[in-house]
Amino acid sequence: MLFFLKKTLIFSSILVYGFFAVNEMQAQIPFVSKGKIIQWNFHSKNIGDRNIDIWMPDVMDDTVIALQVLYMNDGQMLFDSGITWNHLEWHADESLQNLIDEGKVPPTMIVGIYNGGSNRHSEFFPKKVYDNMNDSVLIWCRENGRDYSVGGPEFEPLSDAYLKFIVEELKPRIDSTFFVKKDASHTFIGGSSMGGLISMYAICEYPQVFGGAMCFSTHWPGVWKTEQNPIPQLILNYMENNLPRPKDHCLYFDLGDKTLDALYPPIQAQVDSVLHDGGFNEKNLDYPILLWR
């Protein structure tokens, strides 16, 4: 059964709060007011060392229940404003625990994956989109704020490696360590800004792993300019050819209209058109937040 949660129930403070966050090894364990945190320092053969904050909800009774799993990008921004770079947080522990207590979502754990600091953009920009950036696109990007050239000062395409880390290393360890539901219909991924972009890419690349993706303030432009920007069309082309089946997948997109978010509405309208053409409708697209089964 699908539970559709309206935007009023969305996690607090969802805007691009992970944007400039950095990864710090041996990070301080966040304070949470609901549930508990388990922190791992995970050594990955794909992306190196990475901190993981695992949030476990409080269980209301003595029944042993297998948990759903929500993987979230920019994991250091989720729980504790006292240790974030901008003193803001998603309030993910309070928000999700309240929804669980109210019976609006089944018991669910959060796996918060710290971003790669200076590698964040490289890890979150879809490699298969990057592979279709010809010389003229690369020149335009370089002239408009970001050098996507391999070997350039800012970029190396690492998103496929990042997703392999989640799918081939992190998820198997989560599945073997905790009592969780392992199938795609109970496995979700989400994030904001570039974290939203990689969440879209994840469900397209691994539809057998992720049954739902939530993408907040998705950074479709790739740079800070939309006029004559070729990147959104490359992303739209990718989505047209790689969307998961709407029959058993759910997508959620949300965005604001101020500051950086002011760039997004025209592109999001085009994305919505692609999604509808791909068979997504109000049952698995429009304005639910997390599509829990």
CATH code at 15?
Answer: 3.40.50.1820
Higher pLDDT, 157 or 87: 157
Question: Which residue range forms the structural domain that includes residue 202?
Answer: 7-277
For position 77, what pLDDT does the model report? 82
Position 291 scores a pLDDT of 39
- Cα separation, 199 vs 110, whole angstroms: 15
Q: pLDDT by residue (tens digit) across 92-106?
A: 888 899 999 898 889
d(CA 188, CA 48): 23
Q: What are phi and psi of 170, to 5 degrees?
A: -70, -50
Residue 272 covered by a domain:
yes
Least confident span in 76-90, 193-207, 257-271:
76-90
Closest CA to 53 of 14, 6, 92, 94: 92
- The domain tally of the chain equals 1
Mean pLDDT of the region 256-281:
92
Residue 155: HSE in the Cβ half-sphere, 13 Å Cα cutoff? 20
| 40-49 mean pLDDT | 94
Contact at 8 Å (CB) between 133 and 234?
Answer: yes
Whole-angstrom distance, CA of residue 285 vs CA of residue 265 = 16
Instruction: Name, of 53-62, 97-106, 148-157, 188-197, the range with top average pLDDT.
Output: 188-197
pLDDT over threshold 50, residue 9: no
First to last CA, the chain: 5
- Which one has a higher pLDDT value, 45 or 87? 45
User: How far apart (Å, rounded) are the C-alpha atoms in residues 217 and 227?
Assistant: 18
Considering the entire predicted model, what is its pTM?
0.88
Mean per-residue pLDDT for 14-25? 43
Phi first, then psi, for residue 225 (nearest 5°) are: -145, 140
Q: Give CA–CA dist 162/184, Å, rounded.
A: 19
* % of the chain with per-residue pLDDT over 70: 81
pLDDT at 63 over 90: no
Is the confidence at residue 89, as pLDDT, over 70?
no
Q: Which of 46-50, 151-155, 274-278, 289-293 has the lowest mean pLDDT?
A: 289-293
3-state DSSP of 241-262: HHCCCCCCCEEEEECCCCHHHH
Chain segment 106-124, per-residue pLDDT in tens: 999 999 999 998 899 999 9
Please indicate whether residue 152 or residue 271 has the higher confidence score (pLDDT): 271
Q: Which residue has the higher pLDDT, 170 or 6?
A: 170
Please report whether residue 1 resides in a domain.
Answer: no
Q: Give the residue-averaged pLDDT of 252-271.
A: 92
Residue 7 has pLDDT above 80, yes or no: no
Tell me the mean pLDDT in the region 277-289: 68
Residue 291 included in any domain: no
Instruction: Single out the residue of 253, 281, 283 nearest to residue 269, CA to CA.
Output: 253
pLDDT at 8 over 80: no
Residue 17 is predicted with a pLDDT of 41
Indicate whether 165 pLDDT > 50.
Answer: yes
Specify if 287 maps to a domain: no
The answer to whether position 283 is within a domain reads no
Answer whether residue 292 is part of any domain: no
Residues sharing a CB contact under 8 Å with residue 91, sequence separation 6 or more, in sequence order? 11, 12, 13, 79
**Residue holding tokens 């009592």?**
179
For residue 229, being part of any structural domain is answered with yes
Q: Is the pLDDT of residue 78 over 50?
A: yes
| Average pLDDT of every residue of the chain | 85
Within-domain flag for 223: yes
Distance of alpha carbon 60 from alpha carbon 235, whole angstroms: 43
pLDDT at 66: 93
Closest CA to 77 of 40, 113, 122: 113
By percentage, how much of the chain surpasses pLDDT 90? 63
User: Does position 154 have pLDDT exceeding 70, yes or no?
Assistant: no
